[in-house]
Amino acid sequence: MIIVGAGLSGIGAAWHLRHALPHKTFAMLEARDEIGGTWDLFRYPGIRSDSDLHTYGYAFKPWTDDDAIADGPSILRYLSETVDENDLGSQIRRGHRVGRASWSSDDACWTVEIERTHTGEVVVLQSAWLIATTGYFRYDHGHLPDFPGIERFAGTVVHPQAWPDDLAYDGKRVVVVGSGATAVTLLPALAERAAHVTMLQRSPTYYVTLPPKDPLANLARRYLSPERAYTWTRRKNVASQAFIYRLSRKYPALVKRLLVRNVAKQLPEGYDVARHFTPTYDPWDQRVCLTPGGDLFHAISSGAASVVTDTIDTFTEHGIRLASGVELDADIVVTATGLELLALGGIEVDVDGRRMEAGDRLVYKSVMLSDVPNLAFVFGYTNASWTLKVDLVCEWVCRCIAYMDRFGYSMAVPVNDDPGMVTAPMLEFGAGYVQRALDRFPRQGTGPWAVPMSYRDDTRRLRDAEIDDGVLQLVQAASRARTH
């Protein structure tokens, strides 16, 4: 078997294969020179999780640090420990970028073309299963709008995805363009050393403040074993996340008032919360951003940072002129303008000579793609911790492979028998970076083709439901006949 990617999802998939199917061999192919994916790529100041590590961590490895909201180096260390503790390092082939994967039904096998990034050499591997744990965004560059006049700016422009190690911002005037999770992380971190930091946003975002440490989790660790304390905390946090999300969708006006009121309490009296912190959309139409300990609001209240809600007219030599005519002076402009999404890591997928574009497929049980055999597509939640879905998906894949081995099947392929099924984008999320890429990702439908974004629902259908469900076609090695 081949796992594509050695980040959070890939390492999790490797653990599940190693423990559930110890007789199987597998390789992890990682295009970069280091493991860790997102947590090795992003190096900007303040990089941290925007989920608690008791749910963002793996179900099989307790998070034992005191901080529930962890910085990037701590998460990367956790991933490295997982690799070392389970002897997964020997399975990782660094500098191996997958370009094309071709399935042959006659051979019941994937042929995978791989480029060795340091030499350009192309190598070929074959595998019965392909597990794509490639995340959802491009690693080579982020999204950068076409800003008028940017070439005239005499200062430094940097995208967080390509943060240089030697960028000196001490005593500098910094403008962060954007108001999403990256901008909100950057602002308080930069404000500690910069002369002033301005967050320039087109429209407000929702924020929730949580303590960096989970006192109940840390208390549980004093009286329970690490495993029991972690399991209890994980269940508690999963339940609270689900409750808040359901409340937000059922009573959006109420949750909006609560979120905005909480922000107002953390800002100076008279602050224009209506303009800068009251979105026009409902909570969870886009992601609600986390501010650990209210660090964003502390930076604003101290005068080290400020928020401006306006649009860019043009860059100037000394900063940015806004549509209102106001000019923001800047030495450094950070374009926290989002990601470029990419399905399957950009891998070209062919089935029996037919090109299978991800955007033309339906997603089955949040795991597989319609008419694509023996390929798992690992994609986490947008409304909860990513890793919750990763664990469930990997459990299902291992269960499916074990079932196929038991009954002599060589191919599993989900097939939609309802040509009139009403479909919708897999990602029903209003964020700009998602909307720009909807056509690149598979669609969802009804029944097993739905993507509920619910850990409870996914537990039922991925952990408890039968593998042979009447939709997943299971083909024997010799006959390739449907078995029902």
Cβ(435)–Cβ(460) below 8 Å: no
Determine which helix (DSSP H) or strand (DSSP E) holds 376, and give its type and residue range.
strand 375-377
Cα(202)–Cα(149) distance, integer angstroms:
18
- pLDDT tens sequence across 183-221: 999 999 999 999 999 999 999 999 999 999 999 999 999
- pLDDT tens sequence across 354-389: 999 999 999 999 999 999 999 999 998 988 899 999
157-335 to CATH, choices 1.10.3470, 3.30.460, 3.50.50, 3.40.50: 3.50.50
Cβ(210)–Cβ(54) below 8 Å: no
Lookup: tokens for 278? 């009251």
Q: Which of 202, 422, 170, 433 is nearest to 307 (CA)?
A: 202
Q: What is the pLDDT of residue 244?
A: 94
Q: What is the pLDDT of residue 482?
A: 38
Q: How far is CA 153 from CA 163, 322, 332, 404, in A?
A: 18, 14, 10, 60
Q: What is the pLDDT of residue 478?
A: 52
Contacts of 349 (CB under 8 A, 6+ apart): 100, 101, 102, 103, 355, 356, 358, 372, 375
2-140+340-476 to CATH, choices 3.40.190.10, 3.40.50.300, 3.50.50.60, 3.40.50.720: 3.50.50.60
Cα(340)–Cα(335) distance, integer angstroms:
13
Q: What is the pLDDT of residue 300?
A: 98
Q: Cα-atom radius of gyration of the chain, to the nearest Å?
A: 23
- pLDDT tens sequence across 241-298: 999 999 999 999 999 999 999 999 999 999 999 999 999 999 999 889 999 999 999 9
Cβ(143)–Cβ(433) below 8 Å: yes
Strand partners, 307: 199
- pLDDT of residue 437 exceeding 80: no
Q: What is the pLDDT of residue 477?
A: 67
Cα(18)–Cα(12) distance, integer angstroms:
10
Q: Put the strands of the sheet holding 27-30 in their side by side order.
A: 92-94, 27-30, 2-4, 130-132, 375-377
The strand ranges marked E within 117-155 are: 122-127, 130-132
For the chain, give the mean pLDDT. Answer: 94
Cα(388)–Cα(453) distance, integer angstroms:
11
Q: What is the pLDDT of residue 480?
A: 42
Average pLDDT value for residue range 452-473: 93
Cβ(199)–Cβ(307) below 8 Å: yes
Cβ(54)–Cβ(115) below 8 Å: no
Quick check: do 2-140+340-476 and 157-335 share a fold? yes
10-19, 139-148, 393-402: least confidently modelled range: 139-148
- pLDDT of residue 136 exceeding 90: no
Average pLDDT value for residue range 89-108: 96
Cα(337)–Cα(177) distance, integer angstroms:
7
Provide the whole-model pTM: 0.94
Determine which helix (DSSP H) or strand (DSSP E) holds 19, and give its type and residue range.
helix 8-20
Q: What is the pLDDT of residue 435?
A: 78
Lookup: tokens for 415? 């097939």
The overall longest dimension of the chain from CA atoms, in Å, is 75
Residue 484: pLDDT band with limits 50, 70, 90: very low
Cβ(388)–Cβ(381) below 8 Å: yes
Q: What is the number of alpha carbons within 13 Å of residue 112 lying toward its C-beta? A: 25
Cα(391)–Cα(386) distance, integer angstroms:
9
Domain coordinates of the chain in residue numbers? 2-140+340-476, 157-335
- pLDDT of residue 2 exceeding 80: yes
Which alpha helices (DSSP H) does 21-57 contain, by range? Answer: 38-41, 53-56
Contacts of 96 (CB under 8 A, 6+ apart): 29, 30, 31, 114, 115, 116, 117, 123
Average pLDDT value for residue range 312-337: 97
Cα(284)–Cα(289) distance, integer angstroms:
10
